A and B are shown apart, each in its own frame.
Chain A
Amino acid sequence: MNDKNKLSLPSKLNVLLVEIEQHKTTPIEVSLDPERYHIVRVSHSGLSLLKAVESLEPDIIIIDIESPDRDMFESLNQISNSKPRPVIMFSEQDDTNTINELVRLGVSAYVVGEINKVRVKSIIDIAMARFSENQLLKNELKLTKEKLSTQKNVEKAKLWLMQTKDYNETQAYHCLRKMAMDNSQKMDEVAKNMLSVAAIFEGTK
């Protein structure tokens, strides 16, 4: 039924399964459809685990929330320039509030106890979707920040024109826009140039 959605995803997802105790993750592994997921299990810890992440380039990482290795994943985005990846936590603690809170705090998804085949697929799908949504939001935030600083420059340049040329706000804006059009530049660039020239004048005064 969801064939259309399936097409947008890569054919097989690389899943890195990090386990502390051998028996614990087996239910998860069993419930992952081999047609859909390429599963690599690692039980080692420390740097060799990081190497596994580097060489496998997993699409998704599944790890026990009580694993000490969590701190290492935490540093992946901080210290190295590795690509951020969705991380799914699992735990035997069965508490809906915990799950909701942790998911709200940025863990992509949270699996509790033993899980069945039907559920695991949807959990992973949701985790992937949530993760890309988060990445989109992050990118959007970055764009908005850039936009804000652009507006700041234009506002400053307008103010400078109003103070030095006795323009009103509309005149100042038109002046900037005309200069931008005449030089086929962005308003932001014109504003920036104007401000840097203004700074030189201020300095020589």
Chain B
Amino acid sequence: MKQKKFETTNLNIGFMPLTDCAPLVVAKEMGIFEKWGLAVNLLKQNSWATLRDKLHSQLLDAAQMLAPMPIASNLGLGCAKTDIITPFVLSRNGNAITLSKQLHQQVLATLVENKVSLPFAAGHLRAVIKHRKLLGNKLKFATVFPHSCHFYQLHSYFINSGIDINDIDIVVIPPANMVSALASGEIDGFCAGGPWNAMSVAQGIGFTGVTSVDIWPDFPEKVLAMKSSFQQQNRQTINALLAALSEACSWLKSVENRFEAALMLTQKKYLDAPVAVIAPSLLGSCLTLQNSEPRLVQGYNSFTRDVSGEQNKPLVQEGLKILEHMTLCEQVSPCEDSRTDSILISGIYREDIYQQAMAELDAKKLVHLKQPVSDKVHQNS
């Protein structure tokens, strides 16, 4: 089969050990990268800031990033301004807000029925928030990074219930320390991705009342990011990379495959966590409280969008929503001209690169259909 020449076949891709790094791990473990002619090294990172610095300094060719991070890089928020783009959404949803067991019990005590319906409404916290503010010891919530959907979702969660965000404290804690901080009472709750919510519940120290599906349904969570110059110099390689990831994400649609993916993620080089805390969210089940029935949350971890041609497309309108929340949280000053915002975001959320890669993928599939024999040969080779 005729194949366009790759500029490079070796890629170093950074990831964080979280449940939604599944597409990268699946593509690696199932040999999908190889099938597309790529030799990919997956490099585990410990902090978002270091992952970002390594991507900026080209120690990493590409990386799994929090959806707001490419925008923060372009605006120079917390780092030197760098042209980072994303041509691919790796995952949607996946976050949840977990309260400490103590806070959960305090809330129950304020309610007549001694029971809350799910998703847990922030309004139930109002009495405790007021009480703790009077004591001069505000409720403390943690999130994983200043420029993360977790941070904006936590904000939205409180603001949408009419709670003054100044009445609570929000701090940043590395995800790996989240569970111990909750256990020690340093924080009263957190917003993070998997497996940290399920782990708190499994350890009997937390109550997961609300997921990002309830706050911002089907919103991009992690994206594949790279330097704009790197994509320009390696167009064919990146197209193949996107094709491979698109295949991995499609594979992740079936429930049986999800379970298999959970098993892959348990490995030491990836999450190094038990399957009992990784699998539930992948299977659309949200552990809420120890010894309670889990809650069914459709699409708790989603790796594709159910819209033809937009399965993993980085939509400009969603990038604009992130920018809007960055402004709301006073991380950026508002821009007077909304057109400028659109120009900025369409240069970061690259719908065009995604479309082009997928068009090439479709063209290749057509060739395969017409030539079933050569297709088999290709797969065997």
Contacts and interface: CB of A to CB of B under 8 A. Distances in A.
A35 interface: no
A71 B192 CA distance: 14
Contacts of A71: 47-49, 144-145, 172, 174
Interface residues of B, number: 31
| Overall SS of chain B's interface | loop
Interface in A41-92: 45-48, 50, 65-75, 77-79
B59 interface: yes
Interface in A85-117: 97-98, 101-102, 104-107
A107 B56 CA distance: 12
Contact of A72 (B57, B78, B173): B173
Q: Which interface residue of A45, A68, A73, A106 has the most chain B CB atoms within 10 A?
A: A68
B224 interface: no
Nearest to B172: A75
A104 B173 CA distance: 26
A3 B78 CA distance: 35
A78 B47 contact: no
B8 interface: no
A106 to B, nearest CB: 5
Contacts of A73: 49
Contacts of A70: 46-47, 49-50
Contact of B79 (A45, A66, A106): A106
A75 B50 contact: no
B325 to A, nearest CB: 14
B171 interface: yes
Contacts of B47: 66-71
16 contacts: A46-B173, A46-B181, A47-B186, A50-B171, A67-B47, A68-B46, A68-B176, A69-B174, A70-B49, A71-B47, A71-B49, A71-B144, A72-B171, A79-B172, A105-B80, A106-B80
